[in-house]
Structure formats: structure tokens, C-alpha cells
């Protein structure tokens, strides 16, 4: 046997061992080098609404944590389906993320030909916040309570605004109608920011919106909140009764926001983002800003977000079927 053959025989086992280890070495290397350029955080709605506000507060802090700019990119349209489709089809490399709201769980029922599945097209990262919705009216509306509002709606034609058709706000309004027997026309907007402008201006008499969108307008005296939709009172609005307390027994709806990535995004990147978001949401800088805006800061595991999506799809799908709603 030649000396070259002897050398090959000696180094072959080591080479095979090194080759077997390479796939396991690549993933940590990806986590260490990511990100090397700006990260895009897509928001499926117009600026000014609850999802946009949470995204901007978190993106500012995430920029500092990652050492790369996290750019908020508003992509409204078709109740978020345009943005979600784009992100579902994006390269799963950690540079395209999306802020999802609970309305994501309604899309399968609202649109029959979705190009994505909320349960499998995304990799959940973490919950970021929760907040109740509120039933609010313009200051000129004489009703000072839910009971008075129901009585008014039974004698006068009213309408209610929301951030769009096929949202949890829309469905909450429909549920209020169903439980009270009143009839109100739904006025969908392209986002909560546009809806609150018309509510405060008196163009629409009532609205069901996220509490964080409405609270600033209550300070101007142009808008009055009648009730929150969660079963428990909101820490941001401790003096406002719940719909459950106001006679709509069992009413319990709240909004949540969570960060997602395209499916198949490397688990090392998901874990890094989850860790950073957990720290951000627990630290005073972001936590205090979220609480001041009416949100309950709340990080979570990826699995918890996945369960929220599955539960929401089952709940809202059943309600849409029961009320025979056409969300097109």
C-alpha cells in the first residue's frame, strides 16, 4: 500500500465525522450571523390602528436589540389578506415578519380561496399584547349606558363603524345585534385609524374598536365609551362596565397581536426573536408605553400563539355559521 493510500485510510473516518456534523453547525452559524441587513415587519392595516401602534413600539426596541433597523411596512387591503399572502410566500430567512391580529382567525371563513392557511403558512414567534374592544359612541349620541343605547337603537336607525369587514370588531358588533335584537348598519373602514376619525367627527354615531384606538379620543370629549367587550374589566378603563355586566351575559371578546414569520423560517431565528420579544415586552420602555396606550403587554411561547389561532378559527367559524353572515 502506498503512503498516499495510507494517508487516505487514516483521514477518511475523520472526514466522514466532520461531514456528518456540518448540518448541525450551520444552524447556529445562521443564528449568529442573522440579521446582517434590515428586517421588514409587515402590518396588514393602515397606520393609526391598534396593530400598527403595537408594531411601532415593538419595532423600535427590536431595532436596538438586533442591531439592524426593523422597518414597519403597512400593507392594508382585503382585511389583511394581501399582506398575509405576501408574507406567506416570502423567503423564510427571517428578514420578512408580520404582525397578526386576532382577525387573522376569521379569514378562512370570510374568503374561500385564500392562498395561505393561518395554521400552517406561518411560524408563530410570540404574542405581544392583548386588549378588549369597546362599544363607543359620538358625544352627541344621548345614550350614556349600554341599556340606553339598546333602547335608542330600537327607536332610531343607527350604524356602527369597525376596522373592516370580517374582523373581530365586525363580528362583535354582529353579536351585539344578535343578543339584543337591535338592527344597526355596519360601516367597514380600512383600519381603526380611519374609523376613529369618523366616530370623533360624528360621521358615524357608534363604533366597535380596539380600546387603544378609542381612549385618546375620550380625552377630547368627542367620544364616549359605553362598555368593554372582555368579560373582565380593563385595567386601562377600570370604571367602564363590561358588556357582560351590562346584560349581554357571557360576552367575552378581546383583541390580540402576535408576531409571525413565514413557515420554515429557521428555528434558531424564531427562538432568537422570541427571546428578544419576551425581554422587550417585559422591560419598562415598551411595557409602559403599551400600558399607557391601553394594551396589556403579554409575551408568550410560539405554541401558545399557534393555539390562539386554532381556537379563534373554530370559535368565529361557528359564530359566522350560526348568524349566517356573508363576509364577502
The per-residue pLDDT for range 198-232, each reduced to its tens digit, is: 999 999 999 999 898 899 999 999 999 999 999 99
In this model, does residue 98 exceed pLDDT 70?
A: yes
The closest of 111, 324, 149, 176 to 186, measured between CA atoms, is: 176
H or E element at residue 316:
helix 302-323
Res 262: pLDDT: 98
Tell me, yes or no, whether 235 lies in a domain.
no
In this model, does residue 19 exceed pLDDT 80?
A: no
Tell me, yes or no, whether 239 lies in a domain.
no
Domain count of the chain? 2
CB atoms within 10 A of CB 121: 18
Are residues 117 and 51 part of one domain?
yes
Are residues 165 and 101 part of one domain?
no
Enclosing domain of residue 204: 132-228
Res 29: pLDDT: 46
Q: How confident is the model at residue 46 (pLDDT cuts 50, 70, 90)?
A: confident
Tell me, yes or no, whether 18 lies in a domain.
no
Question: DSSP label at 119?
Answer: T
Are residues 301 and 155 part of one domain?
no
Q: How far apart are CA 244 and CA 251, in angstroms?
A: 5
SS3 166: coil
In this model, does residue 17 exceed pLDDT 80?
A: no
Angle at 70 between CA 67 and CA 73, to 5 degrees: 170
Q: What is the mean pLDDT of residues 151-158?
A: 96
Q: Which residue has the higher pLDDT, 32 or 202?
A: 202
Are residues 124 and 138 part of one domain?
no
Q: How far apart are CA 99 and CA 83, in angstroms?
A: 10
CA distances from 194 to 48, 164, 273 (A): 8, 10, 31
CA distances from 106 to 19, 98, 136, 245, 328 (A): 47, 17, 23, 26, 12
Tell me, yes or no, whether 31 lies in a domain.
no
Res 108: pLDDT: 86
Res 26: pLDDT: 42
Angle between helices 211-218 and 50-66 in degrees, nearest 10: 110
Are residues 86 and 151 part of one domain?
no
Q: Minimum mean pLDDT among 23-32, 85-94, 166-175, 255-264: which range?
A: 23-32
Res 14: pLDDT: 46
Q: How confident is the model at residue 9 (pLDDT cuts 50, 70, 90)?
A: low
Res 110: pLDDT: 77
Tell me, yes or no, whether 234 lies in a domain.
no
Are residues 219 and 272 part of one domain?
no
Q: Which residue has the higher pLDDT, 235 or 104?
A: 104
Are residues 142 and 96 part of one domain?
no
Tell me, yes or no, whether 243 lies in a domain.
no
Res 21: pLDDT: 44
Res 328: pLDDT: 63
Are residues 212 and 64 part of one domain?
no
Q: How far apart are CA 204 and CA 137, in angstroms?
A: 8
Are the beta carbons of 162 and 173 closer than 8 angstroms?
yes
The string of DSSP letters for 13-58 reads: HHHHHHHHHHHHHHHHHHHHH--SS-EEEEESS-TTSHHHHHHHHH
Q: What is the mean pLDDT of residues 168-189?
A: 94
Tell me, yes or no, whether 49 lies in a domain.
yes
Q: Which residue has the higher pLDDT, 255 or 99?
A: 99
Res 238: pLDDT: 92
Q: How far apart are CA 101 and CA 255, in angstroms?
A: 7
Q: Which residues of 200-219 are buried (b: 16+ CB within 10 A; e: fewer)?
A: beeebbbbbbbbbbbbebbe
Burial class (CB in 10 A: 0-12, 13-18, 19+), 107: buried
The tens digit of pLDDT for each residue in 65-78 reads 999 999 999 998 88
Q: How far apart are CA 249 and CA 251, in angstroms?
A: 6
In this model, does residue 8 exceed pLDDT 50?
A: no
Q: Rg (Cα) of the chain, in Å, rounded?
A: 24
In this model, does residue 33 exceed pLDDT 70?
A: yes
Are the beta carbons of 59 and 99 closer than 8 angstroms?
no
Pairing of strands 70-74, 184-188: unpaired
Tell me, yes or no, whether 150 lies in a domain.
yes
- Residue whose C-alpha cell reads 429557521 in the numeric block: 266
Are residues 195 and 170 part of one domain?
yes
**CA 100 distance to own-chain centroid:** 4
Question: DSSP label at 80?
Answer: G
The tens digit of pLDDT for each residue in 255-311 reads 999 999 999 999 999 999 999 999 999 999 999 999 888 888 999 999 999 999 999
Q: How confident is the model at residue 10 (pLDDT cuts 50, 70, 90)?
A: very low
Q: What is the mean pLDDT of residues 227-247?
A: 94
Q: What is the mean pLDDT of residues 152-172?
A: 92
Res 48: pLDDT: 81
What's this model's pTM, rounded to 2 decimal places? 0.78
Q: How far apart are CA 203 and CA 131, in angstroms?
A: 25
Q: What is the mean pLDDT of residues 186-197?
A: 90
Amino acid at each position: 500500500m502506498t503512503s498516499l493510500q495510507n494517508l487516505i485510510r487514516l483521514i477518511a473516518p475523520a472526514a466522514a465525522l466532520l461531514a456528518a456534523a456540518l448540518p448541525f453547525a450551520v444552524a447556529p452559524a445562521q443564528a449568529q450571523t442573522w440579521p446582517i441587513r434590515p428586517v421588514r415587519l409587515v402590518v396588514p392595516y393602515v397606520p393609526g390602528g391598534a396593530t400598527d401602534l403595537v408594531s411601532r413600539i415593538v419595532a423600535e426596541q427590536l431595532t436596538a436589540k438586533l442591531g439592524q433597523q426593523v422597518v414597519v411596512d403597512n400593507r392594508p387591503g382585503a382585511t389583511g389578506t394581501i399582506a398575509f399572502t405576501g408574507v406567506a410566500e416570502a423567503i423564510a430567512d427571517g428578514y420578512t415578519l408580520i404582525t397578526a391580529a386576532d382577525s387573522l382567525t376569521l379569514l378562512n371563513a370570510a374568503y374561500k380561496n385564500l392562498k395561505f392557511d393561518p395554521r400552517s403558512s406561518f411560524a408563530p414567534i410570540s404574542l405581544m399584547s392583548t386588549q378588549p374592544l369597546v362599544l363607543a359612541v359620538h358625544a352627541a349620541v344621548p345614550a350614556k349606558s349600554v341599556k340606553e343605547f339598546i333602547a335608542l337603537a330600537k327607536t332610531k336607525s343607527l350604524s356602527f363603524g369597525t376596522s373592516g369587514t370580517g374582523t373581530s370588531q365586525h363580528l362583535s358588533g354582529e353579536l351585539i345585534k344578535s343578543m339584543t335584537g337591535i338592527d344597526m348598519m355596519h360601516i367597514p373602514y380600512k383600519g381603526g385609524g380611519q374609523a376613529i376619525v369618523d366616530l370623533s367627527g360624528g360621521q358615524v354615531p357608534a363604533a366597535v374598536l380596539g380600546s387603544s384606538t378609542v381612549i385618546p379620543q375620550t380625552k377630547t370629549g368627542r367620544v364616549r365609551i359605553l362598555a368593554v367587550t372582555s368579560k373582565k374589566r380593563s385595567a386601562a378603563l377600570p370604571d367602564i362596565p363590561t358588556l357582560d355586566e351590562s346584560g349581554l351575559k357571557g360576552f367575552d371578546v378581546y383583541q390580540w397581536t402576535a408576531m409571525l414569520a413565514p413557515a420554515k423560517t429557521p428555528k434558531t431565528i424564531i427562538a432568537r426573536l422570541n427571546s428578544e420579544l419576551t425581554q422587550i415586552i417585559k422591560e419598562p420602555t415598551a411595557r409602559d408605553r403599551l400600558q399607557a396606550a391601553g394594551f396589556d403587554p403579554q409575551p408568550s411561547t410560539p405554541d401558545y400563539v399557534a393555539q390562539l389561532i386554532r381556537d379563534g378559527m373554530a370559535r368565529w367559524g361557528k359564530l359566522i355559521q350560526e348568524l349566517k353572515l356573508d363576509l364577502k
